[in-house]
Chain A
């Protein structure tokens, strides 16, 4: 591997300008990413507090911490905050924003002002939603099902809906920005097949963002009209259909799951390749499986409605398509695993998160088959099995990848190293705590415990046992998440100064100083190699046997 020595320039993106105005009016994608990092973390903290309240309440069968009406608001707001204000923007808006231009050798995103605008839109949506929570809260569940949300709920549905509506535009603009940037701003020599897989997965994510998000926007508008003026879209008394709302909602919200998990898959590809010093096994299969997921993801929304009075034949088709969408995910898992073969694997914190992601995502994905299968879905849907399944995808998947990515690129973002020992320790605590929290919920769901239940029958002792285990796990998980919060903040001031390429990696983002200068690269890089090119060109191994290749033309 070629070693680069780069003299760190005196100014970087962090010290190029000072003062609050230099941040709030910045057009630098890296600073905007840092703004997102702060705000996304803030929303994550709020969402976590709600989660704590839920887990505490469920320790006992009867309602003793809150009243039912309060509990209903707590789980609703946990869902809204976590889904719309943490999970969806988490990886794309922070790591994606910071890294896509750097990975393709660009100075910034294609539309820096729009990038800043999308952060402001996100904040306006967030503030409006926080207002809805403080003013009295929402109790519809994050799914806003009609006619409860339009006719029966006596809570701040429209304010919260408007917050989500506004926030959607932030997603759309970010997606648009990424797509244009990836198409038009790649450095010389950066062909599509030389793109890191992180960029591929963000490309697929962006497609979903710009195609799917308008649908949720329209749905929220219809919901608001129905609630205010009773126009009769969803109300059967006025000739509407309440199930229509579910179709519209899931037409966005199922693909939204892939908005959350595709970027996480991109991060994982980077972690697995770079921390085993290997190119990704089956690069093109991994790249195109992202696109396959993005496309197929739009065709499976009906699997949320197997028991919603949908026709049984529609159920059959959606079940079939849901099994089909599992295959590209399986391909990714097998390719990540194969990448480890004959690799040089380090045990650094980001890799621990990356490996954790594969395991937990595999469990999350496989348990999805219980819900894609019609017979078992009838029993398991709307129970804690669902809750466990999607937390394995969103926490075990997205959150772990986010933390892994944050550690991996922390030296680049902050210019400081985090404490490795603490990093590994907390990764372990998060892994153990996570599994203890959510594994018992699979059993709970199979036993029949419905989701969104404030109380449960006291005579079902095994239910309480499982809830106690889950709450114990959540406490461990909480500690595991607090540790990085503390040491990452600590490292900003006291962490070891990071050099430009602390992991000794070939990716473009490491070929510039840490933190990078405002323009990312002092000279526009020229790309000669495929991504993850650790080994000198000329040697390639085809499963077990080595083949000499003619040296590539320079």
Chain B
């Protein structure tokens, strides 16, 4: 767990080095200015110490030139940090296409993960090295935050919406993750490990947990048991409600004008609060499923609807994913 130098955290994601580079740049600027100011102050304090009780130094008015100089130089340095930091942030916070998607649900005080093939884990997450992984996250109760120091990323999980982080692990190992948003009594116990494995070992691990029901398959079962089919059609081809085939990732035209991109958050909202954004041509007749489905089953329903739009709909049987499930990439946030 410890890196070779004990006071620098382990670095194990593709962008961890970039974040560290910004970190060390700001550290350099900080050390330079703090040293400069301290040395100047110490020099002045010694050089211009009061030598007799009656000395009165001459007043100095100030200098607009100097003021300009020490406003503009810090501003330029600050802007360079701003630009660089923003650039790296956009990498950190915009998940790439074709990432393997893992669903995450936080609850007091544990983290639940589900792989696209159905494997479930608690407070432990197995991921392959060298493959892009996107975590689609929500919470059953209050706000939490998934923080993996070695990957240099974190994001809050917020009730009522999906957030995400992504990473591509660069070396196998075991890395801590933490809940970083205070969430009550056992907040500091809400932590675990990311197991980064060689791809072959990971595939092996996945197949060793076979006979799992994938989220999409579980969603399909839910779709039937909740009676969704009566309006959306037995094969989701549509009826009194809009067709669900191909809806994910498309731009939906709303009644009353406007369009919305049908991403995970929109799908979730349409189940929980169907009246919020009604598809044009349909009446606001769908009942709310608020309180009837857990966050995990909601994610399953969303996964099922997503599977209707992907080239390779996921089958109800477990299978090791090839090189990540191709999904239409669409930032959740």
Interface string of B90-124 (1 = CB under 8 A from A): 10111000000000000010000000000000000
Closest to B332 in A: A309
Known: A341-B48, A540-B58. A450 touches B178 (CB 8 A): yes
Q: Are B182 and A452 in contact (CB under 8 A)?
A: yes
Cβ-neighbour of B41 out of A68, A340, A382 (below 8 A): A340
In the bound complex, how far is the Cα of B57 from the Cα of A312, in angstroms?
Answer: 53
- The answer to whether the Cβ of A485 comes within 8 Å of any Cβ in the partner chain is no
Q: How large is the interface on A (under 10, 10 to 19, 20 to 34, 35 or more residues)?
A: 35 or more
Q: Are B1 and A309 in contact (CB under 8 A)?
A: no
Q: Are B149 and A374 in contact (CB under 8 A)?
A: no
Residues of chain A within 8 A of B333, CB atoms compared: 309, 311-312
Q: Are B44 and A307 in contact (CB under 8 A)?
A: no
Q: Are A308 and B158 in contact (CB under 8 A)?
A: yes
Most chain A CB neighbours (cut-off 10 Å) among B34, B58, B150, B176: B58
In the bound complex, how far is the Cα of B90 from the Cα of A471, in angstroms?
Answer: 38
Q: Are B49 and A323 in contact (CB under 8 A)?
A: no
Interface residues of A in 295-317 (CB under 8 A from B): 306-309, 311-312, 315-316
- The answer to whether the Cβ of A32 comes within 8 Å of any Cβ in the partner chain is no
Cβ-neighbour of A359 out of B38, B74, B90, B183 (below 8 A): B38
Residues of chain A within 8 A of B156, CB atoms compared: 307-309
- The answer to whether the Cβ of A362 comes within 8 Å of any Cβ in the partner chain is yes
- Distance in angstroms from A379 CB to nearest chain B CB is 5
- The answer to whether the Cβ of B280 comes within 8 Å of any Cβ in the partner chain is no
Stretch of B77-85, B200-208, B317-325 lying at the A interface:
B77-85
Q: Are A316 and B86 in contact (CB under 8 A)?
A: yes
In the bound complex, how far is the Cα of B89 from the Cα of A311, in angstroms?
Answer: 12
Stretch of B159-167, B217-225, B247-255, B307-315 lying at the A interface:
B159-167
Residues of chain B within 8 A of A446, CB atoms compared: 7-9, 23
- The answer to whether the Cβ of B71 comes within 8 Å of any Cβ in the partner chain is yes
Residues of chain B within 8 A of A374, CB atoms compared: 85-86, 88-89, 93
Known: A68-B188, A72-B185, A237-B160. A359 touches B155 (CB 8 A): no
Interface residues of A in 371-397 (CB under 8 A from B): 372-379, 381-383
Stretch of B61-69, B125-133, B226-234 lying at the A interface:
B61-69
- The answer to whether the Cβ of A319 comes within 8 Å of any Cβ in the partner chain is yes
In the bound complex, how far is the Cα of B2 from the Cα of A461, in angstroms?
Answer: 8
Q: Are B59 and A366 in contact (CB under 8 A)?
A: no
Known: A307-B156, A358-B37. A242 touches B48 (CB 8 A): no
Q: Are A152 and B82 in contact (CB under 8 A)?
A: no
Known: A344-B48, A359-B41. A319 touches B184 (CB 8 A): no
- The answer to whether the Cβ of B290 comes within 8 Å of any Cβ in the partner chain is yes
In the bound complex, how far is the Cα of B93 from the Cα of A548, in angstroms?
Answer: 60
Closest to A466 in B: B7
Known: A72-B184, A457-B191. A378 touches B93 (CB 8 A): yes
Stretch of B137-145, B235-243, B298-306 lying at the A interface:
B137-145
- The answer to whether the Cβ of A211 comes within 8 Å of any Cβ in the partner chain is no
Q: How large is the interface on B (under 10, 10 to 19, 20 to 34, 35 or more residues)?
A: 35 or more
Q: Are A344 and B19 in contact (CB under 8 A)?
A: no
Residues of chain A within 8 A of B9, CB atoms compared: 446-448
Known: A446-B9, A455-B188. A331 touches B71 (CB 8 A): yes
Q: Are A279 and B59 in contact (CB under 8 A)?
A: yes
Interface string of A54-70 (1 = CB under 8 A from B): 00000000000000110
- The answer to whether the Cβ of A278 comes within 8 Å of any Cβ in the partner chain is yes
Cβ-neighbour of B26 out of A370, A539, A541 (below 8 A): A370
Cβ-neighbour of A241 out of B19, B160, B184 (below 8 A): B160
Interface string of B49-61 (1 = CB under 8 A from A): 1110001111111
Residues of chain B within 8 A of A372, CB atoms compared: 81-82, 85
Q: Are B61 and A366 in contact (CB under 8 A)?
A: no
Q: Are B158 and A448 in contact (CB under 8 A)?
A: no
- The answer to whether the Cβ of A459 comes within 8 Å of any Cβ in the partner chain is yes
Interface residues of A in 322-373 (CB under 8 A from B): 323-324, 326-327, 330-331, 333-335, 337-338, 340-347, 355, 358-359, 362-363, 366-367, 369-370, 372-373
Q: Are A148 and B22 in contact (CB under 8 A)?
A: no
Residues of chain A within 8 A of B176, CB atoms compared: 448, 457, 460
- The answer to whether the Cβ of A454 comes within 8 Å of any Cβ in the partner chain is yes
- The answer to whether the Cβ of A198 comes within 8 Å of any Cβ in the partner chain is no
Interface string of B170-184 (1 = CB under 8 A from A): 000000101111111
- The answer to whether the Cβ of A11 comes within 8 Å of any Cβ in the partner chain is no
Interface string of A267-290 (1 = CB under 8 A from B): 000000000111101111100000
- The answer to whether the Cβ of A543 comes within 8 Å of any Cβ in the partner chain is yes
Residues of chain B within 8 A of A69, CB atoms compared: 185
Closest to B52 in A: A344
Q: Are B188 and A373 in contact (CB under 8 A)?
A: no
Residues of chain B within 8 A of A346, CB atoms compared: 49-50
- Distance in angstroms from A339 CB to nearest chain B CB is 8
In the bound complex, how far is the Cα of B161 from the Cα of A330, in angstroms?
Answer: 40
In the bound complex, how far is the Cα of B158 from the Cα of A312, in angstroms?
Answer: 16
- The answer to whether the Cβ of A153 comes within 8 Å of any Cβ in the partner chain is yes
- The answer to whether the Cβ of B258 comes within 8 Å of any Cβ in the partner chain is no
In the bound complex, how far is the Cα of B138 from the Cα of A347, in angstroms?
Answer: 57
Cβ-neighbour of B48 out of A312, A343, A452 (below 8 A): A343
- The answer to whether the Cβ of A15 comes within 8 Å of any Cβ in the partner chain is no
In the bound complex, how far is the Cα of B64 from the Cα of A542, in angstroms?
Answer: 11
Cβ-neighbour of A236 out of B38, B160, B188 (below 8 A): B160
Residues of chain B within 8 A of A539, CB atoms compared: 58-59
Interface residues of A in 489-536 (CB under 8 A from B): 532-535
Q: Are B70 and A334 in contact (CB under 8 A)?
A: yes
Closest to B191 in A: A457
Cβ-neighbour of A452 out of B1, B71, B187 (below 8 A): B187
Residues of chain B within 8 A of A277, CB atoms compared: 50, 55-57
Q: Are A309 and B58 in contact (CB under 8 A)?
A: no
- The answer to whether the Cβ of B327 comes within 8 Å of any Cβ in the partner chain is no
- The answer to whether the Cβ of B257 comes within 8 Å of any Cβ in the partner chain is no
Q: Are B142 and A148 in contact (CB under 8 A)?
A: yes
Closest to B15 in A: A375
- The answer to whether the Cβ of A22 comes within 8 Å of any Cβ in the partner chain is no
- The answer to whether the Cβ of A419 comes within 8 Å of any Cβ in the partner chain is no
Residues of chain B within 8 A of A285, CB atoms compared: 62, 67
21 CB-based A-B contacts, threshold 8 Å: A72-B185, A140-B182, A148-B182, A237-B159, A277-B56, A308-B158, A309-B158, A312-B90, A338-B62, A344-B51, A347-B49, A375-B92, A378-B93, A447-B9, A447-B149, A455-B189, A457-B1, A460-B2, A462-B2, A535-B56, A546-B58
Besides A281-B62, A369-B81, 6 more A-B contacts (Cβ < 8 Å) are A277-B57, A309-B333, A344-B55, A345-B49, A369-B30, A446-B7
